[in-house]
Amino acid sequence: MSYTYKYPRPAVTADALVLCSRDGRWYVLLVQRAHPPFEGMWALPGGFMEMEERLEETARRELEEETGIRAGKMEFGGIFDRPDRDPRGRTISAVYITFLKECQEPAAGDDASRARWFPLSDLPPLAFDHREIIDTLLTESKED
């Protein structure tokens, strides 16, 4: 049986906010986008959910595909759903946070042309609403 609905179907993505500490400073893992939109800009590792996946599985898969890093424990950070957050169309993203014991060397792959650690105090301009995501989730975690 096939169902057809008159309601819009937004795209669903998952992003990984990966943090580590080195020399008393916090770092976040970012990837440089290899394709439009925002080609050449830095972003959180992430991407579109496949039909058979759960959201955390999407975040883990995209993180490994784009950086070569496998996450241990991941915590759900939140849903980001501002209607204009992605120029390709209506996209809703679930964000998962993980803290690594050490800043592992990333290896860019898949949709990322580069991957590297940035100090939280010195982030480059970010694609989509990723700066808002980082600011929101890290502010909320400090308040807990």
Inside any domain, residue 13? no
Residue 16 pLDDT > 80, yes or no?
yes
Inside any domain, residue 1? no
Write out the residue range of the structural domain in which residue 115 sits: 18-143
**pLDDT (tens digit per residue) in 84-105:** 999 999 999 999 999 999 999 9
Residue 143 pLDDT > 60, yes or no?
no
Inside any domain, residue 6? no
Number of domains the chain contains: 1
**pLDDT (tens digit per residue) in 52-81:** 999 999 999 999 999 999 999 999 999 999
What does the pLDDT average to over 6-29?
95
Return the exposure string of 61-79: e unless at least 16 CB atoms fall within 10 Å of the residue's CB, then b: bbbbebbbbebeebeebee
Inside any domain, residue 9? no
Residue 28 pLDDT > 70, yes or no?
yes
The contacts of residue 108 (CB under 8 Å, 6+ apart) are 31, 32, 66, 67, 68, 114, 115
Residue 141 has a pLDDT of 57
Inside any domain, residue 28? yes
What does the pLDDT average to over 122-139?
97
Residue 138 pLDDT > 70, yes or no?
yes
Inside any domain, residue 2? no
Q: Output the domain CATH number for residue 34.
A: 3.90.79.10
